[in-house]
Chains A and B, each alone.
Chain A
Amino acid sequence: MDFTEEQLRRYSRHILLPEVGGKGQKKISQAKVFLVGAGGLGCPVGYYLAAAGVGRIGIIDNDTVEISNLQRQIAHNTKRIGMPKVISAKQTFEELNPDVEVVPYKDKLTTKNILDLIKDYDIVVDGSDNFSTRYMVNDACVMLKKPLVSGAILRFEGQVTTIIPEEGPCYRCLFEEPPPPGLVPSCQEAGVLGVLTGVIGSLQATEVLKIILGKGELLKGELIIYNALRMSFRKVKVPKNPDCPMCGSHPTIKELIDYEEYCSLQAH
């Protein structure tokens, strides 16, 4: 293992773990992870993955930093209001760890660009805040057989599941279709406890590292639900749906669906 003296010190607490060691740390440094969103979840996921030394972190978000983000989006700060979130995230992560290359995409993730964007990454992390993106990311990951760590938050509750295409269920095995527009409120409407994003994002980052290392048990076929008010974790088993329209034995979805169009049409 050819670590520099600085890397040896930076990653010493990882190297000492039998489950990581120098070999695991090398795997981490060679890993390429794509983050969907540089917001509440993308910030802590990216922060911990950068700290861990993940070699390349791609991150897509079309928004700029707003003051209302700063209650939870820990990669940004007050001076960066108005700056594209992906640029702010890149600065924060690379300042934390210069070993890490952060590739920012200030863009909207769409059915047109998603396959091309994620194809060169090993793992995808969904920290998006809307159902159209969530389903699109799931479908794209199933199509390309990319591991996906999906996280979601609202108010005081969050959930995480890990999708390993062909091995376990996909997001559509859990919930076949997105809910009708307006049924589930957004954080913007319903609020979110800022620190909740740290808990859920940290769980997602943990899953990513376990996938990279090939150690431990993943949340494959399981949904973990955290309630901050009750301070409880609940695990729910999610079986693979043999009739899943995406990953079942006779899939009906053959191309990516632009639900945003569908949702906005429904709303009007």
Chain B
Amino acid sequence: MQPDKRLNIKGEICPYTLVKSKLAMEDLDVGEVLEILLDYPEAINSIPKAMQNYGHTVLNVEKINDTDWVIIIRKEVKD
């Protein structure tokens, strides 16, 4: 699936991983998809959980190599 927006937050730590992800989501329209590339292990759980709380859908969480993960979120609610 081709995301509407890509966000690289490698090197960023909590809670700024989430802050930057949330800001990126705000730039999307409902139905659009954000792909987040990150390497901070705790965010693998916290970002999907927070995004669900905001009402969005977590489409995928995937480890892509030794250090990096990709999280894919679909925007479901208007800000």
Contact = CB atoms under 8 A, between A and B. Distances in A.
Most buried by A among B18, B19, B22, B50: B19
B5 to A, nearest CB: 13
B15 A18 contact: no
A22 B18 contact: no
B22 A15 contact: yes
Interface string B2-34: 000000000000011011101100110000000
B22 A22 contact: yes
Interface of B: 15-16, 18-20, 22-23, 26-27, 50, 54, 79
10 contacts: A1-B23, A8-B16, A8-B19, A12-B15, A12-B16, A12-B19, A16-B19, A21-B79, A23-B26, A23-B79
Given A9-B19, A12-B15, 19 more contacts: A1-B23, A1-B26, A1-B27, A3-B23, A8-B16, A8-B19, A8-B23, A9-B16, A12-B16, A12-B19, A15-B23, A16-B19, A16-B50, A18-B54, A18-B79, A22-B22, A22-B23, A23-B26, A23-B79
Interface of A: 1, 3, 8-9, 12, 15-16, 18, 21-23
